[in-house]
Amino acid sequence: MTTAKDLFIIAMEPGPERAVGQGDLSLALAGAELIDLIGAGALTVDGDRIVPGGPAAPEDQLLGEAAARLTRQPPHERIEDWLWRRGRDLSAAYQAALEEDGELTRKRNGRLPFGPERVEPVDTPGRRRAAGRWEAKEPVLAALASAVGIDDGRSDDGSGPGDDAATAVVAAVHDAVMELEAVRQRRAIENAAFANLWRGP
C-alpha cells in the first residue's frame, strides 16, 4: 500500500468529519504520490520544481503511472502544476483500483435495496496498516489528511512532515485545495446572482 491509498482509505472511513470533496482528495492523492516517489528516489524537489531522478519502477500500478508522467525535460514542472495535472479525476482512479483489490466495498444507505450507495473500507491488512499509520499520527499522512479537512486535532501537535521536500509538497497541496475552494465559492456566488437575475425583483 502507498501513502495515497492509505489516505484514500482514511478519507472513506465513516464519520461526519470525514466527508471529503473529490477534487480536494484528488489534489492530496497527487501530493501523496509525489512524496512516495521522493522516498523511492524517483525524484527530488528543487524549490517549487519537481526534478525526476533515475528510472523508477514502483510495484504499485498507480504510482508507476505517476512516475511515468513526470516531466523529464527542463524547465521542470512546478509542484502545484503537477497537482492539478495529475490530480484530475485521480480519486476515481484510486477508488476503482482499491475496489478491484478488495480494499473497498459498496454498501447501500438505509434498508431499502434501491437507496444511495456509499463506499466503505473492508477489514483487510491494508486498512489496518492505514489505520495504524493514522493512529500513530504519522506526520506525512496526518498533514495530507489535514489539507483535505480530516484533522481530529492532529495538526495542533506541531509536527510536520519533517523532510523539506515533503513539506514543500504538503504546502502546495494546502494552497491548491484553498484555490479550489475559492473557485467553488466564486461559482456559488455567480450562480446565486444569475438565479436572482432570472427571478427578478
What is the mean predicted confidence (pLDDT) over 18-47? 90
Q: What is the pLDDT of residue 59?
A: 86
Radius of gyration of the chain (CA): 18
User: Span 41-49, mean pLDDT?
Assistant: 92
Which whole number is the average pLDDT over 85-110? 88
Query: What's the CA gap between 26 and 35, in Å, rounded?
Result: 14
Q: What angle do CA 167, 132, 153 make, to 5 degrees?
A: 55
CA dist 186 and 188 (Å) reads 5
Return mean pLDDT, the chain. 84
- Of the listed ranges 70-79, 85-94, 131-140, 160-169, the one predicted with least confidence: 160-169
Kindly list the distances between the CA atom of residue 134 and the CA atoms of 70, 86, 184, in Å, as whole numbers in the listed order.
29, 25, 29
pLDDT at 77: 94
Residue 24's contacts (CB-CB under 8 Å, 6 or more residues apart) are: 147, 148, 149, 177, 180, 181
DSSP 179-191: HHHHHHHHHHHHH
Whether residue 200 is predicted with pLDDT greater than 90 in this model: the reply is: no
pLDDT at position 107 over 90: no
pLDDT of residue 176: 93
Query: Does the pLDDT at position 73 exceed 70?
Result: yes
Res 194 pLDDT > 80: no
**In which band, very low, low, confident or very high, does the pLDDT at 65 lie, cut at 50, 70 and 90?**
very high
More confident residue, 112 or 176: 176
